[in-house]
């Protein structure tokens, strides 16, 4: 279904994909909430309810009045699911009733449902590639990985991505921006956005190639930065070592002139112990 039901307040934290399954005598809706954060959100059961009610409200409003007022009118069942990619265990309530205060005392008198939980880090790469659909692709890319692994995984998914509809591909690139891009170090956000915005299902290879070039550029920049910082550190260490050597030479000359240790300390900044060692060496 080409619509998102995520509330604007949470658009930076989550996205959704809605599927409608048509059978002989009914429609079943699968509502998949994609968590764009790696921590557990304990409001998930409540927010899922809001999204489900919004879907039902839209169906109700789009149903002719004489049909929805009939005793045979039924709302379609909605199967809610959550996609989670956090490193820790999911500890939020899996049923809505657990968010209600004192639900144990009012059994049978309140609204309740359970949602499906998918922990993307449970699945292995071969299983996900074998499934070959949008959700499987998101599962694979949503698993914990190093930034340099991104291109390799996109290449393995290229066949899946080419078969996506334009709307599904737009969902995919939007998710890619929100979930994968923040993991990539460096100031390349605008460039990655431009590559993803200009992409389409028919030119997946070009998108992957451009992302690969951008990642290589990032790695080269990081390497040059590291080399530059290492060079500057080396120069600083050399300068400090030269200054220390000069101070020791001054202290040695002052000791040969029988200048008292207190004066030498003030003149060079060296410690009393170090000057005492130098004096002992000169006396040998």
Question: Is residue 194 scored above 80 in pLDDT?
Answer: no
Phi then psi for 29, rounded to 5 degrees? -105, 130
What band does 230 get if pLDDT is binned at 50, 70 and 90?
low
Share of the chain above pLDDT 90, in %: 14
What's the CA gap between 268 and 247, in Å, rounded? 5
Residue 9, pLDDT score: 65
Averaged pLDDT of the chain: 78
Give me the DSSP letters along the chain: -------GGGTTTEEEEEEEEE-SS-EEEEEEEEE-SSS--TTHHHHHHHHHHHHHHHHHHTS-HHHHTSTT--PPPEEEEEEE--SSPP-S-SBGGGGSTTGGGGTTSS---B-EEEEGGGS-HHHHHHH-SHHHHHHHHHS---GGGHHHHHHHHHHHHHTS-HHHHHHHHHHIIIIIGGGS-SS-HHHHHHHHHT--GGGHHHHHHHHHHHHHHHHHHHHHHHHHHHHHHHHHHHHHHHHHHHHHHHHHHHHHTT--HHHHHHHH---HHHHHHHHHHHH-
Cβ-proximal residues to 59 (8 Å cutoff; 6+ apart), any chain: 75, 76
The pTM (predicted TM-score) of the whole model is 0.53
In this prediction, residue 34 has a pLDDT band, given cuts at 50, 70 and 90, of: confident
Between the alpha carbon of residue 46 and those of residues 9, 32, 118, the distances in Å are: 14, 15, 18
pLDDT at site 46: 92
* 207 or 183: which leads in pLDDT: 207
Confidence of residue 238 (pLDDT cuts 50, 70, 90): low
Given a cut of 90, is residue 254 above it in pLDDT?
no
Distance CA 162, CA 134 (A): 11
pLDDT band at 187; cut points 50, 70, 90: low
pLDDT tens digits, one per residue of 66-116: 999 999 999 999 999 988 877 778 889 999 999 998 888 887 788 899 999
Residue 151 CB neighbour total at 10 angstroms: 17
Domain map of the chain by residue range? 7-122, 124-243
Q: Tell me how far apart the alpha carbons of residues 19 and 31 are, in angstroms, rounded to a whole number.
A: 7
Number of CB atoms found within 10 A of residue 221's CB: 14
Task: List the single range of 2-6, 40-44, 81-85 with lowest mean pLDDT.
Answer: 2-6
Write the CB contacts of 79 (distance below 8 Å, at least 6 apart in sequence).
28, 29, 30, 31, 116
pLDDT at 164: 79
In this predicted structure, the answer to whether residue 188 has a pLDDT above a threshold of 70 is: no
Average pLDDT over residues 277-284: 76
Contact criterion met (CB below 8 Å) for 177 and 192? yes
Residue 57 has a pLDDT of 92
Whether the predicted pLDDT of 13 surpasses 70: no
């Amino acid at each position: 279904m080409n619509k998102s039901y995520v509330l604007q307040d949470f658009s930076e934290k989550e996205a959704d994909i809605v599927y409608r399954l048509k059978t002989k005598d009914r429609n079943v809706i699968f509502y998949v909430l994609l968590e764009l954060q790696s921590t557990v959100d304990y409001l998930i059961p409540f927010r899922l309810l809001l999204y489900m009610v919004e879907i039902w409200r839209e169906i109700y409003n789009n149903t002719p009045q004489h049909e929805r007022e009939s005793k045979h009118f039924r709302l379609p069942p909605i199967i809610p699911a959550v996609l989670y990619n956090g490193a820790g265990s999911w500890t939020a309530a899996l049923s809505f009733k657990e968010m209600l205060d004192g639900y144990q005392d009012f059994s049978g008198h309140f609204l309740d449902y359970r949602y499906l939980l998918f922990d993307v880090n449970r699945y292995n790469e071969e299983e996900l590639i074998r499934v070959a659909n949008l959700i499987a692709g998101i599962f694979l890319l949503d698993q914990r990985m190093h930034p340099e692994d991104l291109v390799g995984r996109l290449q393995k998914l290229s066949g899946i991505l080419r078969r996506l509809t334009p709307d599904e591909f737009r969902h995919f690139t939007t998710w890619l921006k929100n979930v994968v891009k923040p993991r990539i170090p460096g100031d390349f956000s605008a460039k990655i956005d431009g590559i993803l915005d200009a992409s389409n299902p028919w030119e997946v290879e070009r998108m992957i190639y451009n992302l690969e070039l951008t990642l290589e550029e990032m790695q080269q920049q990081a390497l040059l930065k590291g080399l530059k910082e290492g060079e500057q550190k080396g120069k600083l260490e050399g300068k400090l070592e030269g200054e220390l050597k000069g101070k020791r030479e001054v202290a040695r000359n002052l000791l040969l002139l029988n200048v008292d240790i207190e004066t030498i300390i003030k003149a060079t900044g060296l410690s009393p112990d170090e000057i005492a060692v130098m004096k002992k060496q000169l006396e040998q």
